[in-house]
Amino acid sequence: MTDPVAPAAIAEPRRFETRHQGSFHGVATPYRCVAAALHVPDATGKPQCSVFSFSYLADSPAPESRPVCFIFNGGPGSASLWLHMGALGPRRVVMPGDAVPAGSGPYTVIDNPLCLLDAADLVFIDPPGTGFSTMLGEAKAEEAWGLEADADIVARFIKTWLSAHRRWASPRYLVGESYGTTRAVAVAGKLAGGLSGVAFNGIVLISAILDFHTARFERGNALADACFLPSYAATALHFGLASAPAGREAFLDEARRFAVEEYLPALVTGNRLAPARMQRVLRKLARLTGLSEAWLTRTRLRIETARFRKELLREGGLTVGRFDSRYTGRDYDDAGELPDADAASYAIDTAYVSAAHDHFTRALAIDWERPYEVFNREALTKWDWLGPRKEGVSRWPGYVNVAPTLGQLLRENPTLKVMVGAGLYDLATPFFAIETTLAGNGIAADRIALRYYDAGHMMYLHEPSLAALVADLRGWLVG
């Protein structure tokens, strides 16, 4: 009889610590970076996963009073290098302005004087399956890939980090981008109330998506078409395919009003729409979006975002980007219905990945044979959006909406601050979608600081927008 094989021992977490000197917002700031894994326990106290983070900690005689910002990107399946190397870290990669592709290296990485480290410590988190983070022991990767599971792990990581660094007295902030905004609200919801003991002072939502119904282009869902319309209008205006005699703000306000007062009702009315009303909607839709009336007639007034990206500049042989519609690209041919790829993504990806690896290995002295997982596509395809099914409870088909949790957080914590940053040219999480979400769901609109930037999903690709974003964050954080 063969003896059972003992489970492999769990290795000690890796840790790399370096010291640095920076100047942020004119303040000389000595700091250290602790690039390290923390073993996060499951509900029984057994190590479940190893979560790697980059903790930038300024030298301070009273660290317990310094704010801590916990920062992550989204995907789901993305590591945190975008915010880390693009906007908020002490070093960042410099991108060409005006939606110009970064091209081939070498890329310029500079000290980032806009970093918030003079005012707050920064912790960039890579959830399991991204960066250097992994599950431990017999735990499977899929156990971390889902709305509830992911938020639960990140929540437990934050509590573990606060204990490891003795920072339970520090003011606490969450900063998420894209799906990271969904995660931020879900994490805050898990840690609020009860005996968790982790109320947050503020939540920053960059390129937010909280209600996924606003961005799902499925047959029968007219809400997404209406929510994307003002971003289409902004894009058409940017490329000179629409006119705004009274200025851009008035033009976008007209697009907002049209979206909810005329366009959405027309889509819901469907084939019951009277011909005269159909023509009025069609003419205005074409004027606002730069698309032809003939094409809009063929689509039954529906404008799925990938179709828009292919159609808008078709005559010039160009497509527009999804994450930032200021970027343009060329496809294999001009006859297809959908773009071959996202021009905004392939314009910048290589620069960010190269800059991050250079920063990790040289400045932070990370010497590890494990590859850094920038984006885990398997996690995205296997993501559990609805959570585990409860025994004996029927589960109807649905969609993710964490916005009611944000409303509850605001009601229960009168000092909680929330800032939302939106890019006008974001065709992934458009600005009118988050406006629509914040208008309902039990959210106190007067508690939300909503800021707009002349760029896309990653507004920090645009130097003026980066400066404006950081100024807004800093004023909101220390004001």
> Which pLDDT value is given to residue 196?
75
The answer to whether residues 234 and 185 belong to one domain is no
Determine the Cα–Cα distance for residues 275 and 151; give it in Å rounded to an integer.
49
Query: DSSP for 319-355?
Result: EE-SS-TT-EE--S-S--SS-SS-HHHHTTHHHHHHH
The answer to whether residues 330 and 353 belong to one domain is no
> Is residue 169 included in any domain, yes or no?
yes
| Nearest CA-CA partner of 107 in 329, 358, 328 | 358
328-356 pLDDT per residue, tens: 999 999 999 999 999 999 999 999 999 99
> For residue 195, what pLDDT band results from cuts at 50, 70 and 90?
low
> Which pLDDT value is given to residue 5?
45
Number of domains in the chain: 2
The answer to whether residues 337 and 355 belong to one domain is no
The answer to whether residues 167 and 226 belong to one domain is no
> Which pLDDT value is given to residue 297?
97
What CATH code is carried by the domain that includes residue 43? Answer: 3.40.50.1820
Average pLDDT over residues 134-145: 94
Average pLDDT over residues 406-413: 96
The answer to whether residues 200 and 309 belong to one domain is no
Within a 13 Å sphere around the CA of 59, how many CA atoms are in the beta-carbon half? 12
> Which pLDDT value is given to residue 193?
73
Regarding predicted confidence, which is higher, 10 or 168? Answer: 168
> Which pLDDT value is given to residue 1?
47
What is the model's pTM? Answer: 0.95
Residue 273 CB coordination number (10 Å): 17
Average pLDDT over residues 402-417: 96
| Nearest CA-CA partner of 19 in 4, 3, 30, 7 | 30
| Whether the predicted pLDDT of 254 surpasses 60 | yes
Determine the Cα–Cα distance for residues 103 and 410; give it in Å rounded to an integer.
44
Determine the Cα–Cα distance for residues 228 and 264; give it in Å rounded to an integer.
11
| Whether the predicted pLDDT of 78 surpasses 60 | yes
> Which pLDDT value is given to residue 3?
52
> Is residue 7 included in any domain, yes or no?
no
> Is residue 91 included in any domain, yes or no?
yes
Average pLDDT over residues 270-291: 97
> Which pLDDT value is given to residue 45?
86
The answer to whether residues 340 and 296 belong to one domain is yes
The answer to whether residues 127 and 70 belong to one domain is yes
Q: Beta strand 417-423 with 202-206: parallel, antiparallel or unpaired?
A: parallel
Report whether the peptide linkage leading into residue 371 is cis, meaning its omega lies within 30 degrees of zero.
Answer: no
> Which pLDDT value is given to residue 447?
94
The answer to whether residues 71 and 139 belong to one domain is yes
Q: Dihedral through CA 163, CA 165, CA 170, CA 175, nearest 10?
A: -90
> For residue 449, what pLDDT band results from cuts at 50, 70 and 90?
very high
198-216 pLDDT per residue, tens: 999 999 999 999 999 999 9
The answer to whether residues 106 and 198 belong to one domain is yes
Span of 39-48, 122-131, 456-465 with lowest mean pLDDT: 39-48
| Nearest CA-CA partner of 234 in 324, 319, 328 | 324
Regarding predicted confidence, which is higher, 3 or 21? Answer: 21
The answer to whether residues 332 and 361 belong to one domain is no
> Is residue 188 included in any domain, yes or no?
yes
> Is residue 82 included in any domain, yes or no?
yes
Average pLDDT over the chain, rounded to an integer = 94
Query: Domain range spanning residue 282?
Result: 219-345
The answer to whether residues 58 and 88 belong to one domain is yes
The answer to whether residues 162 and 235 belong to one domain is no
> Is residue 1 included in any domain, yes or no?
no
48: which residues sit within 8 A by CB, 6+ positions away? 40, 41, 42, 135, 136, 137, 139, 143, 153
> Is residue 98 included in any domain, yes or no?
yes
> Is residue 242 included in any domain, yes or no?
yes
Whole-number percent of the chain with pLDDT over 90 = 87
> For residue 71, what pLDDT band results from cuts at 50, 70 and 90?
very high
